[in-house]
Amino acid sequence: MIVLAMLLLAAIGPAGCTLENRETAALLAQVRVNRIQAQQAALVYTPGGTIKAAELDNDEGKLVWSFDIATPGTKSLTEVDVDALTGGVISVATEVPEDNDTTK
């Protein structure tokens, strides 16, 4: 993974390397579970689901792949967080669209 991060930085070059790119490269250098492996683990919790967004983040000191997954027949998204070191699913939560909010 360190080699992957170094290749990413080399391809971007020092002038084009933004703070966000450097942070992402630093996080990628630490993962033991790649995005594809994490996606497979997340999709187990959302049969027939489609990944709409994915992010690698340091969440309270834990390296996490976070996926927003759309499921056919519903407007809500399921957010599944996968530990980027172990591949274990950390949390599964349903995000209801704001237009369905009944408190308005």
Q: Domain map of the chain by residue range? A: 1-30, 32-104
Helix then strand count (H, E) for the chain reads 3, 4
- Summarised one tens digit per residue, pLDDT across range 86-102 is 999 999 999 887 744 44
Which amino acid belongs to residue 61?
A: G
- Summarised one tens digit per residue, pLDDT across range 13-38 is 554 557 667 777 777 778 899 999 99
CATH class of the region 32-104: alpha beta
- Summarised one tens digit per residue, pLDDT across range 29-72 is 788 999 999 999 999 999 899 999 999 998 888 999 999 999 98
CB burial string 67-78: b at 16+ within 10 A, e below: bbbbbeeeeebb
